[in-house]
Amino acid sequence: MKRTIWGESMPEVEGIVRKAPWVTVRQESVADCTAIMRSVGQGEQPIVLVHGIGVSARYFEPLAAELARTSTVYAIELPGFGGTPGPRRALSVPELGEIVLAVLRKLELAAVVLVGHSMGCQVAAETAARAPELVSKLVLLGPTVNDRERSIGKQALRLAQDTLRESPKVNWVVFTDYLRSMIPYLKTLPTMMNHRLEDTLLHVSSPVVLMRGGRDPIVPADWLGRLAEANGHAAVIELDGAPHVLMYHRPAETAQGFLAGDAHETA
């Protein structure tokens, strides 16, 4: 059987499911958990995307399409989120970072550009701190959690403010993902709040790019500045006018920014 994905006719392979815009979808078992790795593109540079709390790879699709022009793009779905079964217990952010690392090693990926969004930044940073030899660049898009608003109430308020700045399509994608992952979301929320990204970045030696949308109420500019100071060698980029899910609204500028981002700038 053949299906057409992005104009290519590709044969079905046992164990691989086709779903646009991803060319392959693989289920990986690591550490008694299940993760899903979606991929698209055939470029030399591997880029790995790590989603935020409660959501899935769906909101990465515009960015993945942009990156796949020149790179091979992988989007991991963490245990309990997207289409994956929930873990037996709540996993900490460092444990989620270990799962990402295990998948990278299982797929024999190296010199990856590791991209996290929101809580995915916390997870990706843990991975990069553990295996600098596998990560050529760490990219943090809208990194959480602002150290001056590290409470569920404050973050709920900021999320509500952000929904007024996102497009209806983004809100639909995010909240339908939240609904199907509500229990893992609630179990993961405390560990997300307690995790200190600024401490993890002290141990990341790979090049780091920090990006935020200029209208992101969840990730203020001063928080990004404190993260840059903690890391000591991070580039800081702001996309003027973009909300929290910046890579959905501005995929080309997001990709261009972190692939070339070596200095502080505003786009």
Q: In this predicted model, what pLDDT tens digit does every residue of 42-57 receive, in sequence order?
A: 899 999 999 999 999 9
**Assigned domain for 162 exists:** yes
pTM for this prediction:
0.89
Q: Is the peptide bond before 217 cis (omega within 30 degrees of 0)?
A: no
| CA atoms in the 13 A half-sphere facing the CB of 16 | 16
**Assigned domain for 188 exists:** yes
**Assigned domain for 206 exists:** yes
Domain count, the chain: 1
**Assigned domain for 148 exists:** yes
CATH number, domain with residue 112 = 3.40.50.1820
Q: In this predicted model, what pLDDT tens digit does every residue of 192-235 receive, in sequence order?
A: 999 999 999 999 999 999 999 999 999 999 999 999 999 999 99
**Assigned domain for 73 exists:** yes
**Assigned domain for 198 exists:** yes
| CA atoms in the 13 A half-sphere facing the CB of 41 | 21
Q: Which domain holds residue 204?
A: 22-266
**Assigned domain for 7 exists:** no
**Assigned domain for 5 exists:** no
